[in-house]
């Protein structure tokens, strides 16, 4: 089994954190879909990472699909609850965190467009999505120690990767000052090897 992706992708990081928390050995193959020589489109027709290539050469893509598979294939350290409602609530946290990342990636890509082609209105719209997502995450977390339940779950992993991506790509955004409860959660997550070993870098 091998995971294809980059060190900078927050979706790849989410998958790597799950692999570490589940104690699943997996080869990491570094490849970026943004390079001309990328082999990613041969593995995922959408040309996106991460891609998990199973031992029988089955390719799984989209981080949500991959992490759910990984949680199911190894019975230890369950990150997704079994009851339908509880599972849906954890997946809701993941959807909100991934949506925050989507907006941050959209800003990054728009910012790379040439002068005159860049839409400041589009960037502002995505930034507003980030601010609303942060406010919703903070409100849902409240004074709880974890996003869902009494231990780390996929909800915390998804939120932690989203916050880490903001630190990486938008270091001037003071989300910690605005939402100290999210900052406490992030600091706690960074004490885990799964998070400290996967901090994004160029």
Summarised one tens digit per residue, pLDDT across range 25-77 is 999 999 999 998 999 999 999 999 999 999 999 999 999 999 999 999 998 99
User: Sheet harboring 27-30: ordered strands across?
Assistant: 27-30, 2-5, 51-53, 59-61
Which pLDDT band holds residue 16 (cuts at 50, 70, 90)? very high
Give the DSSP H/E element, type plus range, for residue 165.
helix 154-169
Domain ranges, ordered by start, for the chain: 2-73, 84-192
Domain 84-192 has CATH 1.20.1050.10: yes
Check residue 114 and report its DSSP letter: P
Count of H-run helices and E-run strands, the chain: 9, 4
- Is the previous residue joined to 50 through a cis bond, with omega within 30 degrees of 0? yes
Summarised one tens digit per residue, pLDDT across range 21-36 is 999 999 999 999 999 8
Q: What are the strands, taking DSSP E only, across the chain?
A: 2-5, 27-30, 51-53, 59-61
In angstroms, the CA 119 to CA 199 distance is: 30
Q: Which CATH number fits domain 2-73: 3.40.30.10, 3.40.190.10, 1.20.1560.10, 3.40.50.920?
A: 3.40.30.10
């Amino acid at each position: 089994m091998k995971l294809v992706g980059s060190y900078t992708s927050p979706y790849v990081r989410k998958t790597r954190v799950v692999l570490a928390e589940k104690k699943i050995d997996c080869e990491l193959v570094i490849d970026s879909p943004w390079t001309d020589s990328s082999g990613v489109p041969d593995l995922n027709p959408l040309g996106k990472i991460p891609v998990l290539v199973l031992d029988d050469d089955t390719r799984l893509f989209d981080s949500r699909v991959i992490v759910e598979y990984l949680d199911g294939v190894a019975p230890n350290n369950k990150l997704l609850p079994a009851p339908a409602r509880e599972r849906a609530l954890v997946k809701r946290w993941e959807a909100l965190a991934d949506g925050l990342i989507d907006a941050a990636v959209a800003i990054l890509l728009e910012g790379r467009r040439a002068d005159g082609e860049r839409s400041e209105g589009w960037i502002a719209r995505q930034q507003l999505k980030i601010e609303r997502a942060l406010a919703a995450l903070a409100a849902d977390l409240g004074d709880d120690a974890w996003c869902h339940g009494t231990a780390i779950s996929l909800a915390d992993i998804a939120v932690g990767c989203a916050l880490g991506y903001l630190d990486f790509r938008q270091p001037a955004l003071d989300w910690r000052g605005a939402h100290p409860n999210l900052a406490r959660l992030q600091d706690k997550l960074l004490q885990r090897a799964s998070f400290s070993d996967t901090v994004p870098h160029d």
